[in-house]
Structure 1
Amino acid sequence: MHSIEQLQSLVNKAINDTKYTEEPAELYEPISYLMQLGGKRMRPVLVLVSTELFGGQVEKALDAAIGIEIFHNFTLMHDDIMDKAPIRRGKATVHVKWNESAAILSGDVMFVEAYKLMIKVEDSILRDVLAIFSDTASGVCQGQQADMNFESRNDVSLAEYLEMIRQKTAVLLAGSMQIGALIGGAAKDQAELLYEFGENLGLAFQLQDDILDVYGDPEKFGKQVGGDILSNKKTFMLIKAKELATGNIADELNQWIETNDNPTAKVEAITNIYNQLKVRKLAESVMEDYVQTALYALDKIEVKSDKKNLLRGFAEQLLIREQ
């Protein structure tokens, strides 16, 4: 099997070799710009790892892997518009560098390009792969809508939040792995176990993202630290803090939620409240539970242990993100 680094190199080479020469340039230049911003390429790598896990050849899965990465970046492009995010991977977001209309249309083209790559899988699994990809795409959109709905609600529960991030984040990791498994020749029940692994890993990853938004180093995290706090985004951190806060702490938290007059002070004050309530430790505990559930599903997959060890290592690497 290839190493994670080798698979990342294959993915990056395929992305770098893809040239968008169609006109108008304003439609395609944002796609190249966003795709070249990098990242760990975890989703396409998971497609390739999953293919090799069952003895398949990565070359047969590369188109689908790049399709997954293009789809993922399409969601990021549109999410950044909705979130009014100024930074993506340490660089200006597409709607800031160009404009919102360009970002919307370029994202639409990316969705089409993703499907064009996905239909290159073998005919024997085409229907299953497209069903998984379509369900995944719908789930991501449903999760994003739920996330937007939460903006106008003050009663979001942890259960609702976890379901939202399952759809918005986890199903894409899970679907990537299930598609890769089918390309590799896995039986459907084995591919479903890999889906379970990816889903729980995705939940853990998003909780880690919530933590890093508060405690991460912006140079290493690649996004605006404290952005969730400034936008009053319903994250595990905020929902749990509101659940635990009483008395003066609850009053202070609510006061800061209602103001944006001093962004620096708001981030510092709410972070201090999280520290008082030990919210970070609670989030890390739940995150670790999802990791363990993911690894339990991985253990049940009927392939040689050394192949699973590579995927286990990727899971551990995925969650060790620099702060």
Structure 2
Amino acid sequence: MDIAVLSDKLNQTLSTLRYGENPAELYEPIRYIMSLGGKRIRPLLVLLAAKMYDEDVENALLPAAAVEVFHNFTLMHDDIMDKAPLRRGQQTVHEKWNANTAILSGDVMLVRAYQLLFGIAPDKLATVLQKFSETAAQVCEGQQIDMNFEQREQVSIDEYIQMITLKTAVLLGFSLELGAILQGAPEEDAEHLKAFGNNIGIAFQLRDDLLDVYGDKAKFGKQVGGDILSDKKTFLMLTALEQANPQQLDVLTCWRHQTNAAIALEKVEAVTAVYNALDLRQQTEEQIDLYFQKALQHLCAVQVPDARKAALRGLAMQLMERDS
């Protein structure tokens, strides 16, 4: 069973989910954001981890769907906080409806995510719910820390890595751990898979930071240069502030908090020019590879035959090489 087959099974499961009907204004935004697709990486990770221990992954389909519903809940709320106009190349929910509707619809998605976990075998349910709840809280902690950074002039790169670990990476780690738990994998294997996912998650977010500046808008699905325009403290910006010479620092400082839409393109070009001068594209690629190699070390430690790890390793390679 390859990734394409697992994806088909997952998409079929997601297509059967029923979130509710009335009031339509509450449930239509959920169906809308879930219909936008995406790579479905997190639920795929659940299934790939489960498949490493048992070819039959039927018992992992609804829990995998729960992870995807939860992930889209976080995106819906993040887009409100970031005032993001686009998600996967389409209007964000708060733009298409309004912020209040997006908040409430997101709340229901969190509830539905928990409900999708209730079918897990009783001997595993409490463990999964505890770990899922811990992960959900960590994702919220990461988002709050990210917002805190907006009010701080000084943020270290180590602090940034910790923030993206919470905001992005832990859900990938949990997804793999969940798949292992569902199939009764050894605890040590589940921990290694979680660590694999965490490191892949950090590398994934660093790739996202890179694509925000250097990505193709048609492929990226979000506004290229959006992080620069919103003055987000990404890995590229923090590294630039750390390494810039006085003249470059003046450029970065001058453009911060410049929010006039008429000069948005000029701002992106000016900041990107500093990034280019500091060779930040290459530096970021090196960091991505560093975390990817850490991830592979944990995957190697998982006590199953290499052939059973091949699909997971292949997906990780695709994530690291993506251009969207």
Determine if contact 1:90/1:222 at 8 Å carries over to the other structure: yes
Determine if contact 1:56/1:185 at 8 Å carries over to the other structure: no
2:295 alignment counterpart:
294
1:233 alignment counterpart:
232
1:174 alignment counterpart:
173
258-267 or 241-250: bigger deviation: 258-267
2:311 alignment counterpart:
310
Indicate yes or no: 2:39 matched with 1:40. yes
- How many Å separate the matches in 2 of 1:319 and 1:102? 35
Determine if contact 1:177/1:194 at 8 Å carries over to the other structure: yes
Cα displacement string for residues 216-247 of structure 1 (whole angstroms, at most 9, x for unaligned residues): 01110111110000000010000000000112
Cα displacement string for residues 168-211 of structure 1 (whole angstroms, at most 9, x for unaligned residues): 00000000110110111101111001001000000000000000
1:26 alignment counterpart:
25
1:280 alignment counterpart:
281
- How many Å separate the matches in 1 of 2:319 and 2:5? 16
- How many Å separate the matches in 1 of 2:259 and 2:251? 14
Determine if contact 1:56/1:183 at 8 Å carries over to the other structure: no
Identity of aligned residues (%): 52
Structure 1: gaps spanning 5 or more residues:
none
- How many Å separate the matches in 2 of 1:258 and 1:24? 40
SS at match of 1:14: helix
Determine if contact 2:19/2:112 at 8 Å carries over to the other structure: no
- How many Å separate the matches in 1 of 2:79 and 2:295? 29
* Counterpart mapping for 1:196-207 below 5 A: 196-207=195-206
Amino acid at match of 2:237: L
Indicate yes or no: 2:49 matched with 1:69. no
How far residue 92 of structure 1 moved from its aligned partner, in angstroms, is 0.1
Determine if contact 1:14/1:66 at 8 Å carries over to the other structure: yes
How far residue 322 of structure 1 moved from its aligned partner, in angstroms, is 2.3
Cα displacement string for residues 274-317 of structure 1 (whole angstroms, at most 9, x for unaligned residues): 00011111111011000000000000110011011111101001
1:319 alignment counterpart:
320
Q: How many residues align?
A: 322
1:111 alignment counterpart:
110
Determine if contact 2:63/2:120 at 8 Å carries over to the other structure: yes
- How many Å separate the matches in 2 of 1:117 and 1:91? 27
- How many Å separate the matches in 1 of 2:118 and 2:51? 20
TM-score w.r.t. the length of structure 2 is 0.98
How far residue 270 of structure 1 moved from its aligned partner, in angstroms, is 0.4
- How many Å separate the matches in 1 of 2:112 and 2:275? 42
- How many Å separate the matches in 2 of 1:322 and 1:274? 19
1:163 alignment counterpart:
162
Amino acid at match of 2:269: E
2:148 alignment counterpart:
149
- How many Å separate the matches in 1 of 2:72 and 2:257? 32
SS at match of 1:134: helix
1:132 alignment counterpart:
131
Structure 2: gaps spanning 5 or more residues:
none
The 3 A distance-change label for structure 1 pair 82 and 258 is closer
- How many Å separate the matches in 2 of 1:30 and 1:246? 47
- How many Å separate the matches in 1 of 2:294 and 2:81? 32
204-213 or 306-315: bigger deviation: 306-315
40-49 or 244-253: bigger deviation: 244-253
How far residue 147 of structure 1 moved from its aligned partner, in angstroms, is 0.2
Amino acid at match of 1:225: V
- How many Å separate the matches in 1 of 2:323 and 2:157? 26
Cα displacement string for residues 78-124 of structure 1 (whole angstroms, at most 9, x for unaligned residues): 00000000000000000000000110000000000000011211111
How far residue 57 of structure 1 moved from its aligned partner, in angstroms, is 2.3
Amino acid at match of 2:127: D
How far residue 21 of structure 1 moved from its aligned partner, in angstroms, is 4.1
- How many Å separate the matches in 1 of 2:268 and 2:127? 46
SS at match of 1:285: helix
1:121 alignment counterpart:
120
Amino acid at match of 1:32: R
- How many Å separate the matches in 2 of 1:275 and 1:283? 12
Amino acid at match of 2:229: L
